[in-house]
Structure 1
Amino acid sequence: MSAPLATALLPLAMLAPAASPVSAVEADFDPATAFVPPAAISYASDLVPYGSHAAVFTDRSTAERTVVTLRVAGLAPGHEFPVHMHTGSCGADPAASGPHYQNVLDPVQPSTDPAYANDRNELRLVLHTDGRGDGTASATVAWQPRPGEARSLVLHAGTPAGRHAAGERVACVKLEQ
Protein backbone atom coordinates (compact mmCIF):
# COMPACT_ATOMS: atom_id res chain seq x y z
CA MET A 1 0.00 0.00 0.00
CA SER A 2 1.38 3.41 -0.86
CA ALA A 3 2.12 5.86 1.94
CA PRO A 4 -0.54 8.43 0.91
CA LEU A 5 -3.24 5.74 0.83
CA ALA A 6 -2.14 4.29 4.17
CA THR A 7 -2.16 7.77 5.71
CA ALA A 8 -5.66 8.40 4.35
CA LEU A 9 -6.99 5.10 5.79
CA LEU A 10 -5.41 5.51 9.23
CA PRO A 11 -8.11 7.90 10.56
CA LEU A 12 -10.80 5.44 9.42
CA ALA A 13 -9.11 2.61 11.31
CA MET A 14 -9.07 4.70 14.48
CA LEU A 15 -12.82 5.30 14.47
CA ALA A 16 -14.78 3.45 17.14
CA PRO A 17 -16.88 0.63 15.73
CA ALA A 18 -20.55 1.37 15.32
CA ALA A 19 -22.62 0.33 18.33
CA SER A 20 -24.16 -3.07 17.79
CA PRO A 21 -27.87 -3.52 18.50
CA VAL A 22 -26.99 -6.89 20.07
CA SER A 23 -24.67 -7.06 23.07
CA ALA A 24 -23.36 -9.98 25.08
CA VAL A 25 -21.84 -10.15 28.54
CA GLU A 26 -20.31 -13.41 29.72
CA ALA A 27 -18.68 -13.88 33.10
CA ASP A 28 -18.05 -16.28 35.92
CA PHE A 29 -19.51 -15.34 39.30
CA ASP A 30 -16.92 -14.18 41.82
CA PRO A 31 -17.19 -12.87 45.37
CA ALA A 32 -17.84 -9.16 45.77
CA THR A 33 -14.52 -8.95 47.61
CA ALA A 34 -12.46 -10.04 44.57
CA PHE A 35 -9.30 -7.99 43.99
CA VAL A 36 -10.49 -6.89 40.54
CA PRO A 37 -14.17 -5.85 40.55
CA PRO A 38 -15.95 -8.74 38.84
CA ALA A 39 -18.48 -8.45 36.01
CA ALA A 40 -20.66 -11.01 37.81
CA ILE A 41 -20.93 -11.03 41.60
CA SER A 42 -22.38 -13.72 43.86
CA TYR A 43 -23.70 -12.61 47.24
CA ALA A 44 -24.91 -16.12 48.17
CA SER A 45 -22.46 -18.85 47.22
CA ASP A 46 -24.94 -21.58 48.21
CA LEU A 47 -27.32 -20.45 45.43
CA VAL A 48 -24.81 -18.91 43.00
CA PRO A 49 -21.48 -20.67 43.60
CA TYR A 50 -18.23 -18.89 42.79
CA GLY A 51 -17.13 -19.99 39.34
CA SER A 52 -20.66 -20.60 38.07
CA HIS A 53 -21.30 -18.86 34.76
CA ALA A 54 -23.72 -16.32 33.30
CA ALA A 55 -24.22 -15.07 29.74
CA VAL A 56 -26.57 -12.15 29.06
CA PHE A 57 -27.61 -11.36 25.50
CA THR A 58 -29.46 -8.10 24.84
CA ASP A 59 -31.07 -7.51 21.45
CA ARG A 60 -32.13 -3.95 20.61
CA SER A 61 -32.22 -4.42 16.85
CA THR A 62 -35.66 -2.80 16.55
CA ALA A 63 -36.77 0.45 18.18
CA GLU A 64 -40.02 -1.15 19.34
CA ARG A 65 -38.59 -3.81 21.63
CA THR A 66 -35.76 -5.21 23.71
CA VAL A 67 -35.10 -8.91 24.21
CA VAL A 68 -32.89 -10.06 27.09
CA THR A 69 -31.80 -13.67 27.39
CA LEU A 70 -29.94 -15.01 30.41
CA ARG A 71 -28.13 -18.36 30.32
CA VAL A 72 -26.52 -19.76 33.45
CA ALA A 73 -24.51 -22.84 34.37
CA GLY A 74 -23.66 -24.23 37.78
CA LEU A 75 -26.21 -22.44 39.98
CA ALA A 76 -28.28 -24.18 42.68
CA PRO A 77 -30.11 -27.06 40.97
CA GLY A 78 -33.91 -27.13 40.83
CA HIS A 79 -34.27 -23.49 41.85
CA GLU A 80 -36.35 -20.57 40.61
CA PHE A 81 -34.64 -17.16 40.48
CA PRO A 82 -36.67 -14.02 39.77
CA VAL A 83 -34.43 -11.73 37.71
CA HIS A 84 -34.84 -7.99 37.12
CA MET A 85 -33.02 -5.24 35.25
CA HIS A 86 -31.71 -2.65 37.73
CA THR A 87 -30.53 0.97 37.44
CA GLY A 88 -27.28 0.72 39.42
CA SER A 89 -24.10 -1.17 38.74
CA CYS A 90 -23.07 -4.26 40.67
CA GLY A 91 -21.02 -3.58 43.79
CA ALA A 92 -19.79 -5.09 47.03
CA ASP A 93 -23.11 -4.10 48.65
CA PRO A 94 -26.06 -5.85 46.95
CA ALA A 95 -28.06 -2.60 47.25
CA ALA A 96 -25.55 -0.86 44.92
CA SER A 97 -27.56 -2.17 41.95
CA GLY A 98 -30.33 0.26 42.89
CA PRO A 99 -34.03 -0.13 42.12
CA HIS A 100 -35.65 -1.94 39.22
CA TYR A 101 -35.25 -0.15 35.90
CA GLN A 102 -38.63 1.24 34.80
CA ASN A 103 -39.48 2.44 31.30
CA VAL A 104 -41.86 5.01 32.82
CA LEU A 105 -40.40 5.99 36.18
CA ASP A 106 -42.73 5.85 39.18
CA PRO A 107 -42.60 9.33 40.80
CA VAL A 108 -42.93 7.66 44.22
CA GLN A 109 -39.91 5.61 45.28
CA PRO A 110 -39.53 2.87 46.22
CA SER A 111 -41.96 1.84 43.52
CA THR A 112 -44.80 -0.37 44.67
CA ASP A 113 -47.64 1.03 42.54
CA PRO A 114 -48.82 -1.75 40.16
CA ALA A 115 -49.31 0.91 37.48
CA TYR A 116 -45.48 1.18 37.36
CA ALA A 117 -44.17 -1.99 39.03
CA ASN A 118 -45.30 -4.52 36.43
CA ASP A 119 -43.88 -6.71 33.68
CA ARG A 120 -44.81 -4.22 30.95
CA ASN A 121 -42.85 -1.36 32.58
CA GLU A 122 -39.99 -3.41 34.05
CA LEU A 123 -37.89 -6.14 32.45
CA ARG A 124 -38.50 -9.32 34.47
CA LEU A 125 -37.42 -12.90 33.89
CA VAL A 126 -37.98 -16.07 35.87
CA LEU A 127 -34.97 -18.37 35.63
CA HIS A 128 -35.51 -22.07 36.39
CA THR A 129 -32.42 -24.23 36.87
CA ASP A 130 -32.35 -27.92 36.03
CA GLY A 131 -30.78 -30.76 38.05
CA ARG A 132 -27.28 -29.54 37.10
CA GLY A 133 -28.02 -25.89 37.94
CA ASP A 134 -28.21 -24.81 34.29
CA GLY A 135 -31.00 -22.69 32.87
CA THR A 136 -32.12 -20.14 30.31
CA ALA A 137 -34.72 -17.39 30.59
CA SER A 138 -35.79 -14.69 28.17
CA ALA A 139 -38.05 -11.66 28.32
CA THR A 140 -39.22 -9.16 25.72
CA VAL A 141 -40.45 -5.66 26.45
CA ALA A 142 -41.98 -3.16 24.04
CA TRP A 143 -39.37 -0.46 24.70
CA GLN A 144 -35.63 0.13 24.83
CA PRO A 145 -33.81 1.17 28.02
CA ARG A 146 -32.57 4.73 28.07
CA PRO A 147 -28.80 4.82 27.37
CA GLY A 148 -26.72 4.37 30.52
CA GLU A 149 -29.70 3.78 32.83
CA ALA A 150 -30.00 -0.04 32.79
CA ARG A 151 -26.74 -1.10 34.38
CA SER A 152 -27.28 -4.58 35.81
CA LEU A 153 -29.30 -7.75 35.86
CA VAL A 154 -30.01 -8.95 39.42
CA LEU A 155 -30.88 -12.49 40.45
CA HIS A 156 -33.09 -12.68 43.53
CA ALA A 157 -33.19 -15.61 45.96
CA GLY A 158 -36.51 -17.02 44.80
CA THR A 159 -37.52 -20.45 46.00
CA PRO A 160 -37.19 -24.09 45.08
CA ALA A 161 -38.77 -24.33 41.62
CA GLY A 162 -42.47 -23.62 41.46
CA ARG A 163 -43.05 -21.15 44.31
CA HIS A 164 -42.16 -17.79 42.61
CA ALA A 165 -41.10 -15.22 45.21
CA ALA A 166 -38.39 -12.57 44.76
CA GLY A 167 -36.47 -12.35 48.02
CA GLU A 168 -33.01 -10.95 48.64
CA ARG A 169 -30.43 -10.19 45.95
CA VAL A 170 -28.13 -13.18 45.50
CA ALA A 171 -26.19 -12.21 42.37
CA CYS A 172 -25.60 -9.37 39.96
CA VAL A 173 -24.32 -9.20 36.36
CA LYS A 174 -23.04 -5.88 34.99
CA LEU A 175 -24.68 -4.92 31.72
CA GLU A 176 -22.46 -1.96 30.84
CA GLN A 177 -19.03 -2.66 29.49
Structure 2
Amino acid sequence: MAVPGSGHVLRMEGEFAPASAGRSAAVTYDSGWVPPGARIQVVQDSGRQGTAVELRVAGLRPGHAYGAHVHTGACTADPADAGGHYQHREDPVQSSEDPDYVNPHNEVWLDFTPDEHGEGFAAAHHRWGFRPGEANSVVIHQEPGGAGERLACFTVPFEPRG
Protein backbone atom coordinates (compact mmCIF):
# COMPACT_ATOMS: atom_id res chain seq x y z
CA MET A 1 0.00 0.00 0.00
CA ALA A 2 1.47 3.35 -0.95
CA VAL A 3 0.48 6.62 0.63
CA PRO A 4 0.46 9.47 -1.89
CA GLY A 5 3.16 11.95 -0.96
CA SER A 6 4.62 9.48 1.51
CA GLY A 7 7.53 10.60 3.60
CA HIS A 8 9.13 7.93 5.74
CA VAL A 9 8.96 4.14 5.45
CA LEU A 10 9.72 1.86 8.40
CA ARG A 11 10.01 -1.89 7.69
CA MET A 12 10.48 -4.45 10.47
CA GLU A 13 10.65 -8.24 10.20
CA GLY A 14 10.79 -10.87 12.89
CA GLU A 15 10.54 -14.54 13.75
CA PHE A 16 8.38 -15.52 16.70
CA ALA A 17 10.05 -17.15 19.70
CA PRO A 18 8.46 -18.36 22.96
CA ALA A 19 8.25 -15.75 25.69
CA SER A 20 10.41 -18.06 27.84
CA ALA A 21 13.25 -17.99 25.26
CA GLY A 22 14.43 -14.58 26.41
CA ARG A 23 14.31 -11.16 24.85
CA SER A 24 12.94 -11.16 21.30
CA ALA A 25 11.16 -8.50 19.25
CA ALA A 26 8.60 -11.16 18.21
CA VAL A 27 7.13 -13.11 21.13
CA THR A 28 4.53 -15.88 21.01
CA TYR A 29 2.36 -16.44 24.07
CA ASP A 30 0.45 -19.40 22.58
CA SER A 31 2.45 -21.71 20.31
CA GLY A 32 -0.70 -23.51 19.20
CA TRP A 33 -1.92 -20.37 17.44
CA VAL A 34 1.38 -18.61 16.67
CA PRO A 35 4.12 -21.25 16.57
CA PRO A 36 7.81 -20.50 17.16
CA GLY A 37 9.40 -19.85 13.79
CA ALA A 38 6.32 -18.13 12.36
CA ARG A 39 7.28 -14.87 10.68
CA ILE A 40 5.93 -11.33 10.74
CA GLN A 41 6.62 -8.18 8.73
CA VAL A 42 5.22 -4.73 9.51
CA VAL A 43 5.61 -1.73 7.21
CA GLN A 44 4.68 1.82 8.20
CA ASP A 45 4.52 4.46 5.45
CA SER A 46 3.80 7.94 6.77
CA GLY A 47 3.65 11.35 5.16
CA ARG A 48 1.43 14.33 4.45
CA GLN A 49 -1.56 12.16 3.52
CA GLY A 50 -1.49 10.13 6.72
CA THR A 51 -0.16 6.80 7.88
CA ALA A 52 -0.44 3.36 6.30
CA VAL A 53 0.41 0.17 8.17
CA GLU A 54 0.80 -3.21 6.46
CA LEU A 55 1.05 -6.57 8.20
CA ARG A 56 2.27 -9.82 6.63
CA VAL A 57 2.51 -13.12 8.49
CA ALA A 58 3.65 -16.62 7.57
CA GLY A 59 3.42 -19.90 9.45
CA LEU A 60 0.10 -19.31 11.23
CA ARG A 61 -2.97 -21.56 11.41
CA PRO A 62 -4.63 -21.62 7.96
CA GLY A 63 -8.23 -20.44 7.77
CA HIS A 64 -8.43 -18.95 11.27
CA ALA A 65 -9.55 -15.31 11.49
CA TYR A 66 -7.07 -13.44 13.70
CA GLY A 67 -7.23 -9.91 15.03
CA ALA A 68 -4.22 -7.59 15.20
CA HIS A 69 -3.84 -4.04 16.44
CA VAL A 70 -1.16 -1.44 17.10
CA HIS A 71 -0.56 -1.28 20.87
CA THR A 72 1.01 1.34 23.11
CA GLY A 73 3.70 -0.72 24.87
CA ALA A 74 6.62 -2.87 23.77
CA CYS A 75 6.53 -6.67 23.93
CA THR A 76 7.86 -8.62 26.91
CA ALA A 77 7.23 -12.07 28.39
CA ASP A 78 4.06 -10.62 29.98
CA PRO A 79 1.33 -9.99 27.37
CA ALA A 80 -0.13 -7.15 29.48
CA ASP A 81 3.05 -5.08 29.06
CA ALA A 82 2.04 -4.26 25.47
CA GLY A 83 -0.61 -1.96 26.93
CA GLY A 84 -3.87 -1.13 25.24
CA HIS A 85 -4.72 -0.37 21.65
CA TYR A 86 -3.21 2.83 20.31
CA GLN A 87 -6.08 5.32 19.95
CA HIS A 88 -5.93 8.48 17.86
CA ARG A 89 -8.55 10.03 20.15
CA GLU A 90 -7.84 8.56 23.56
CA ASP A 91 -10.74 7.32 25.63
CA PRO A 92 -10.40 9.03 29.03
CA VAL A 93 -11.71 5.81 30.62
CA GLN A 94 -9.21 2.94 30.40
CA SER A 95 -9.40 0.06 29.69
CA SER A 96 -11.48 1.32 26.81
CA GLU A 97 -14.54 -0.56 25.59
CA ASP A 98 -16.51 2.45 24.33
CA PRO A 99 -17.32 1.98 20.61
CA ASP A 100 -16.80 5.72 20.08
CA TYR A 101 -13.10 5.01 20.72
CA VAL A 102 -12.70 1.27 20.05
CA ASN A 103 -13.23 1.12 16.29
CA PRO A 104 -11.14 0.76 13.11
CA HIS A 105 -11.29 4.52 12.41
CA ASN A 106 -9.74 5.51 15.75
CA GLU A 107 -7.41 2.52 16.12
CA VAL A 108 -5.25 0.51 13.72
CA TRP A 109 -7.05 -2.78 13.08
CA LEU A 110 -5.17 -5.36 11.01
CA ASP A 111 -7.47 -8.40 11.01
CA PHE A 112 -6.41 -11.25 8.71
CA THR A 113 -7.11 -14.87 7.82
CA PRO A 114 -4.10 -16.96 6.73
CA ASP A 115 -4.48 -18.87 3.48
CA GLU A 116 -3.88 -22.61 3.05
CA HIS A 117 -0.12 -21.94 3.33
CA GLY A 118 -0.48 -20.05 6.64
CA GLU A 119 0.23 -16.67 5.04
CA GLY A 120 -1.86 -13.61 5.79
CA PHE A 121 -1.97 -9.91 4.95
CA ALA A 122 -3.77 -6.85 6.29
CA ALA A 123 -3.47 -3.11 5.74
CA ALA A 124 -4.91 0.04 7.28
CA HIS A 125 -4.68 3.70 6.28
CA HIS A 126 -5.53 6.71 8.42
CA ARG A 127 -5.26 10.42 7.74
CA TRP A 128 -3.71 10.83 11.17
CA GLY A 129 -0.28 9.86 12.47
CA PHE A 130 1.03 8.36 15.68
CA ARG A 131 1.99 10.53 18.65
CA PRO A 132 5.72 10.29 19.45
CA GLY A 133 6.57 7.27 21.61
CA GLU A 134 2.97 6.08 22.02
CA ALA A 135 2.73 3.30 19.39
CA ASN A 136 5.23 0.52 20.07
CA SER A 137 3.97 -2.90 18.98
CA VAL A 138 1.53 -5.03 17.02
CA VAL A 139 -0.38 -7.60 19.05
CA ILE A 140 -1.99 -10.60 17.36
CA HIS A 141 -5.28 -11.58 19.01
CA GLN A 142 -7.22 -14.84 18.82
CA GLU A 143 -10.31 -13.08 17.42
CA PRO A 144 -10.82 -10.34 14.83
CA GLY A 145 -12.47 -7.06 15.73
CA GLY A 146 -12.03 -5.27 19.02
CA ALA A 147 -9.76 -7.76 20.79
CA GLY A 148 -9.55 -11.31 22.11
CA GLU A 149 -6.81 -13.25 23.87
CA ARG A 150 -3.28 -11.98 23.16
CA LEU A 151 -1.49 -14.70 21.20
CA ALA A 152 1.70 -12.92 20.12
CA CYS A 153 3.41 -9.54 20.10
CA PHE A 154 5.92 -7.83 17.79
CA THR A 155 7.78 -4.74 18.98
CA VAL A 156 7.74 -2.00 16.33
CA PRO A 157 9.02 1.52 17.09
CA PHE A 158 6.30 3.30 15.07
CA GLU A 159 7.18 6.84 14.10
CA PRO A 160 5.07 10.00 14.11
CA ARG A 161 3.75 11.24 10.79
CA GLY A 162 6.46 13.00 8.77
Same fold (TM over 0.5): yes
The alignment of Structure 1 onto Structure 2 pairs a total of residues equal to: 152
Which one has more relative contact order, counting CA pairs under 8 Å at least 6 apart? 2
Where does structure 1 lack aligned partners over 5 or more consecutive residues? 1-19
**Maintained 8 Å contact 2:70/2:137:** yes
The residue number in structure 2 matching 1:64 is: 49
- TM-score when scaled to structure 1? 0.81
Instruction: Could you list the structure 1 runs, at least 4 aligned residues long, displaced by more than 2 angstroms after superposition.
Output: none
Indicate the structure (1 or 2) with the bigger Cα radius of gyration.
1
1:99-138 to structure 2, matched below 5 A, reads 99-138=84-123
* Residue 32 (structure 2) aligned to one of 42, 46, 51: 46
**Maintained 8 Å contact 1:83/1:125:** yes
**Maintained 8 Å contact 1:63/1:144:** no
Inter-partner Cα distance in structure 1 for 2:73 and 2:53:
17
TM-superposed CA distance for 1:64, in Å, is 3.4
* Post-superposition CA distance 1:44-63 (Å, at most 9, x none): 11111100100000111x23
Give the share of equivalent positions with the same residue, in percent. 47
TM-superposed CA distance for 1:74, in Å, is 0.5
**Maintained 8 Å contact 1:64/1:144:** no
The residue number in structure 2 matching 1:34 is: 21
Inter-partner Cα distance in structure 2 for 1:158 and 1:173:
17
The residue number in structure 2 matching 1:55 is: 41
Where does structure 2 lack aligned partners over 5 or more consecutive residues? 1-6
More helix, by proportion? 1
- TM-score when scaled to structure 2? 0.88
The residue number in structure 1 matching 2:79 is: 94
* Residue 74 (structure 1) aligned to one of 33, 53, 59: 59
